[in-house]
Amino acid sequence: MPCERRPMRYGHSEGHTEVCFDDSGRFLVTCGNDGDVRIWEGLDDDEPKFITVGEKAYSLALKNGKLVTASSNNTVQIHTFPDGDPDGILTRFTTNATHVTFNSSGSRVAAGSSDFMVKVVEVADSSQQKTLRGHEAPVLSVTFDPKDDFLASASCDGSVVVWSIEEQSQLIRWPLLQKTNDVSNAKSLCRLAWQPVGAMLLAVPVETKVRLYERGSWDHVSTLSDDLQTQLINVVAWSPCGRFLAAGGVGGALTVWDVKRQLCIERQKHEKGFTVCGLAWSPSGRQVAYTDTEGCLGLLDGLCTSAPSTKPAKKAAEDYDDLFDDDDDRLMDEGLGDNNSPVKKPVAGDNDEDDDDCLMPATGRPRNRGAILDDELSLDAGSLKLGRDKFGGGDDRDDASSAGMPAAPPPGPLRPVYQGPVPTPPQKAFQPGATPAHLTHRFMMWNSVGIVRGYNDDQDNAIDVEFHDTAVHHAMHLTNSLGHTMADLSQEAVLLACPGTEELASKLQCLHFSSWDTNKDWMVDLPAGEEARALCLGGGWAAVATSALMLRLFSVGGVQREVFSLQGNVVCMAGYGEQLLIVYHRAPGFDGDQALGVQLLQLGPRKRQLIRGEALPLSPRSHLTWLGFTAEGTPCYVDSEESVRMLNRSLGNTWTPVCNTGETCKSRSDHYWVVGVHENPQQLRCVPCKGSRYPPTLPRPAVAILPFKLPMCQTSTEKGLMEEQFWRSVLFENHFGFLSSSGYEVDEEAQTRSQKEQQELLMKMFALSCKLEREFRCVELAELMTHNAVTLAIRYASRSRRMGLAQRLSEVALQKANRLREEAPEEPEEEAELTAPARRASGYEVTGGRHSNRPYLEEQVERVPEPEKEAEEEEEEEQQQEEEQEEEPETRKRVNPFKEAASPVVPSLTPIGKAGRANPFKVFGSSSSSSAAQPRGTNILDNMASGRKSSPLAGSAGKANKGPVLKPLPPRPRSKTQSTLLQMTSSKKTTGDIRQKQPEAPPPAPPADSGPNERPKTGFQLWLEENRKSISADHPELEETEVIKEAMRRFRTLSAEERLSWTERSKSQTGDGADLKKRKRGGRGDEDGGRGEAAVDAADGQHGSVENGAKKKRSVDPSSKLSAFAFTKT
C-alpha cells in the first residue's frame, strides 16, 4: 500500500488538535488550542475559513451538514456547515467536554466530559438526553456502535466500558489502561473506533498494540501489532470499507493494518516526531489526515483503497484494456487460456456485502497479482499472493478458473523506494515581535520601544501604538483603512505595510512622528507584482524586503536610497542604529531542518557587510521564531526549540547559545514569547504564554525576566558553575568594545566590574584546581588571567607549598610581560604626562632598567614569600609602612635622579599592582635605593577580594584608606611624577652639592653587596656565591636566569646533609630582629636629621656612617631572590 506523505503545515497554536473530513471529502475541518475551527479546501489552502467557538476547542465531529464542537466553556455547540452559523448548544457539563462523536446516521451525538459523565443527545431535540454514569475519572473518548445499540467509552480510571444506550447501563468493563487523574496527564488518549461495515469489531489501543473485541460476545478475538511500533498508540481510525485500520502513536508513528490478514501494510513517520493526536479517513479511503500536538496538519495521500462500489472499477478496467490491441493482450496473457485471462475477469462477484474489493490501485484497475501487471510499488511482499479473496469472486466459476490457472511466476525484484532525506517546506516570512496575522486582535509589534496592536473585527479595523516611555511620544490610534498587516516601531517613526490586491499595489507607509516638519507621514507604492514580505526601522532609515527578492532602503523622511537583491526569499529582518540584519532561505532544508542564511550590514557613513551570507545555525528540526538586537546592539535570535543565541564578535562572528527558555517552563505546552534582550544587566525579557506560543492582547500580558545560562557541562558542580559564569561574563563584555568602536558612550564602571568579576572567578577556579591537585589545569587558568592576577596566583601557589607550580606560573607571567612589552609602543617623552592615565589603566608603567628577563624573574621570585617567615615579615611591613608615611613629603620633593645620570637607562615595562605590590621588573642601582623601596607585601589574595588600595608611594602594600595610585608614574626627563623607588644612585640626594660629588649613577651592586633592609641569605644563596664562578666557567654562554636555574639543578644533587649544613650557615648569619627594627628607626631619624643645614656634612661623612651603621643588611643579589622562591627549607 504505497502512499505519499504530504508536508505538514501550520494549523493552530500548540496544543491538542483534531481533524475530520466532511461527507463529500472536499473539506478538511480542524480545531485546536486557539479556540478556532478551520475549514480547509485541501491541504494547500492558504486562506481557510475559520469559526471561533471558544477560548479552546477540544474536539469536533461533522455529519450531514452539522458541525459539533466541545469547547472550553463547558458546552457542546452545534454550527451549520460550511457556513459556520451558530445553531445552538446541545448540552452542558460542569467542566469541559473532552470528546464528541456522531452516530452513523448523524441523528445522535455522544459527548464525554471531565466530570466523569457521558451524554447521548438527540440532534433534532437536544432535550432528549441520556446520561451514562459509572466512570471514576475524566472520560478520554467515546464511539457509537454502527447499529446504534451500544456505546463504548474510555476513561482516565483505566477502564474501557461498553454501554447499552437504551438501558443506560454497563454491559462489560475492561481494565486495560494506565490510571491518571486528568486528560492532560494521560499517556494515551485511547481514541476508540468501531468497525463501520459489519459492525463486528471494536478497536481499542492498548500501549503499543490494538486489541480487537467482537461485538455481542465481547471476546478478545485478535491483536494488531508491529515490531517497529515502540511507543504508545494514541488514536485509531477505520477505513470506510472497514477492512483497514490506521493508528497514530505518541512518537509520531503512523501505521495501517490489513485487519483480515493482521498484516501491517503501511508505515510512516511524522516528519518531526511529534505526537499524533487526531486521525481521520477520507470518504474515498485514499487519504488519511492527521494532526499533532504542535497544531500542525498533515496528510497521507495515495492509499490504495476504494469505496465498496465495483462498477467504477469495472469501467476503469475496460477503458484500460482498450488501450492495448490483441497482440499486446496475447503477449500479456502468454501461458494463460483465453477463458482465464486475468484482465478479462470480473472485479467482484455478485455478493455486494463482500468487502474484499476494497483494495484497488490508484487508477481504478484491479490488481492482477500473478501477471506482468503486478503492483510493483507495494511495500509488502505478502500483498503479491494470488487468491480468490483479492478479487471478490466467490462463485463456482471463479473457483474453476482459479483451479485451471497455472502457478503464478515468482515475483520480480521490488522497485527501489527512495529512503533519503525529505525536503522541508520553507518557512514563511514573518515579522519578529508579532503574533500570527489571522488573529483578529493581535500584536503587530512588541519591542523595546513600544507596542503596536492591530484590531480587525466587525466593529473596528484600527491600529494602536503605545510607547513604554511616554517621553518619546504619546499613544496613537490609527485607522487601518488600507489593511496593514506588518509594522515596526522605533524612537523616530512607525513603519506599516499592507499586501497588494488585484486593483491596488502593496504599500509602505511611514509615520515620522519625531520630524519637526508638519507633514509627518509619507507613503510609497511598490512596483506591480512586488509585495512587502518584511520590514524594519533603524537609525534614520527604513528597509523593506519584497517578494521580488529585492531589499529597498528609504530614509526616515521618505528618500529612496540603495536597492539590492537578496540571495533568497526573506524570512525576517531587524534593525538597530546603523545595523541591518537579514535572514533568508539560502537553500532547501531537509528532514525538518531549515537552511537559512544571514547578512549583517552596516549602513553608516562607512557602509560595509559584516556577515556575508553565512548559515544561520538552528536547533535540529526547528524554525526561526524571533530575530532582533540586544539593547546594546548585539544581534540575537530564538528558534522554535526555544534556544536563544547571540553573536560572539570576539570569536569570528559565531553564534553562542545563551539561554533555553523551555527549561524554565512548568509544562511542555507553556512557552515564553521573547520581546527584548539586555546585556547590561543580563536580562531576557519574555511574556509567559500558558498553553500557547503567543500571548493574548487583553488583558495586557505581564513581562517576565529570565536569566542567561550557557549550555556548559556539569553546571551542577562548583567547577562547571564557575566556568559557565566566567565565559558568560566574557561573552557579554564584548558589547563594550563594539559600543566604543561605534562612538557610543561606554559604562566604564560596569566594564571594570565585569573584568574584576572575571579575574575573581579565575582565581576561585585556580584555588579549586590547587585543592584537587590539578597543577596543569592551574597553568591553563593562569593563561587566561591578567598579569596582576598571575602574580596573585604565584603567591597562592607558594603559600600552598607548590613550588613547582609557582615556578611555572612565573614563566607564564614572564611571557605575558614580554608580550605586553612587544605590543606597547614607546611613547615620546613630551607626551609622558598625557599618556600616563592610559598606562596606569593598562597596568604597566615605564621604569629605569634594561629589557631582559632577569629583572622580572628576580623581582618575581623575591615577591614569593617563604611560608615560615610570613609572620615575621608582616610585622616588619607594618613598621616600614609607618616609616614611609613619615618620609613621604620629602620623597615627593626629591630631584629627578635621571636628569643628570651619565649611565644610559633603557625604559622597560613593569606592572603596577592594584593592591600595592612591589614592582616585579625593577632592578635596583644600589643598596640604599633598595633599602628605601623594598618593603614586603601583605596578603594579596585578601587585597583582591576586598579591593583595598595602597598609597601612591607605598611600594608593596597599603591600608584601606590609602589612595588608588600605588607609586608615581614612569621616570621621564623633566617629569614631575618621578618614582623614588626607582632611583639608581647609591644613596638619597637632596642638594646640588651631593650631585656634584656623585655625577653618575653607579652600576648595580654585585651580589655580595647588601642593603640595610635586605633579608638574611638562605643556604642556597650562600652556596651560589661560592660556586657562581665555576658555573659561569662551565657555561659561559648562559644568561643570568639560566645560571640560576643551573645552580638550582646542581644544588638539588647535593646530599641532604650538605644542604642542611648550608642552611645552618645561613641561619648563623641572621641577626636579632628586634635590634634590627630599632636600628631602622634610629637610622631613619639620623637620615632625617641630616637634612637641611647638615646636608654637606651628611654628604661628606654621615652618608658613609648610614651605609655602614648598625642597620641590618639585605642582599639584592638576583640569585638569592630566586633561591628564596625555589628552595624554602631544603
Q: Name the amino acid, one letter, at 24.
A: S
Whole-number pLDDT of residue 1047: 86
Dump pLDDT digits (tens) for 762-811.
999 999 999 999 999 999 999 999 989 999 999 999 999 999 999 999 99
* The pLDDT of residue 604: 85
Flag whether pLDDT at 207 surpasses 60.
Answer: yes
Residue 251 has pLDDT above 90, yes or no: no
Quote the cell numbers at residue 50. Answer: 475559520
**Mean pLDDT, residues 238-262 taken together:** 90
DSSP 748: H
Among 379-388, 743-752, 876-885, 1043-1052, which stretch is predicted with the lowest mean pLDDT?
379-388
Q: Which helix (H) or strand (E) holds 719?
A: helix 718-732
In 3D, which of 296, 267, 248, 256 has the Cα closest to residue 592? 296
In SS3 terms, 1047-1077 reads as: HHHHHHHCCHHHHHHHHHHHHHCCCCHHHHH
Question: What is the C-alpha to C-alpha distance for residues 1008 and 252, in angstroms, rounded to an integer?
Answer: 85
Q: Determine the pLDDT at residue 305.
A: 56
Residue in this structure with the C-alpha cell 601612591, named with its chain if needed: 952
Alpha-helical segments (H) within 772-799: 775-784, 787-799
- Which residue spans within 208-343 are E strands per DSSP? 209-214, 220-224, 233-238, 244-249, 253-258, 263-269, 276-281, 287-292, 296-301
Mean pLDDT of 978-983: 38
SS (H, E, C) 355-404: CHHHECCCCCCCCCCCCCCCCCCCCCHHHHCCCHHHCCCCCHHHHHHHHH
pLDDT score recorded for residue 741:
81
Which of 545, 470, 473, 540 lies closest to 510, judged by CA?
Answer: 540
What is the torsion angle, in degrees rounded to the nearest 10, for the CA atoms of residue 326, residue 332, residue 338 and residue 340? -140
C-beta separation of 695 from 443 below 8 A: yes
Nearest to 465 by CA among 456, 455, 457: 455
**pLDDT over 70 (residue 930):** no
Q: Which of 55, 619, 40 is nearest to 291 (CA)?
A: 40
Nearest to 722 by CA among 648, 784, 665: 784
pLDDT at 838 over 80: no
CB 163 within 8 A of CB 172: no
**pLDDT at res. 586:** 94
Find the helix or strand (DSSP H, E) in which 565 lies.
strand 560-565
CA 687 to chain centre: 18
SS3 call for 817: helix
Q: Which of 711-715, 945-949, 967-971 has the highest mean pLDDT?
A: 711-715
The overall average pLDDT reported for the chain is 75
1099 or 735, greater pLDDT: 735
Contacts 24+ apart (CB under 8 A), 1003-1009: 1003/903, 1003/925, 1004/923, 1004/924, 1004/925, 1004/926, 1005/924, 1005/925, 1005/926, 1005/927, 1005/1116, 1006/1117, 1007/1115, 1007/1117, 1007/1118, 1007/1119, 1007/1120, 1008/1115, 1008/1117, 1009/927, 1009/1115, 1009/1116, 1009/1117
Q: pLDDT per residue over 399-424, tens digit each? A: 433 334 444 445 555 567 777 888 99
pTM for the complete prediction?
A: 0.48
How high is the pLDDT of residue 348? 39
Q: State how far the Cα of 967 lies from the Cα of 839, in Å rounded to an integer.
A: 13
CA-CA distance, 47 to 50, in Å (whole number)?
Answer: 9
How far is residue 975's CA from residue 696's CA, in Å, rounded to a whole number? 69
Angstrom distance (rounded) from CA 809 to CA 817: 12
Please give the single-letter amino acid code of residue 186. A
- pLDDT: which is higher, 259 or 875: 259
Identify the top-confidence range among 49-63, 332-346, 931-945: 49-63
The helix (H) or strand (E) run that includes residue 1020 is helix 1019-1034
Residue 704 pLDDT class (50, 70, 90 cuts) = very high
* Cα 862 to Cα 923, 934, 1080, distances in angstroms: 12, 10, 21
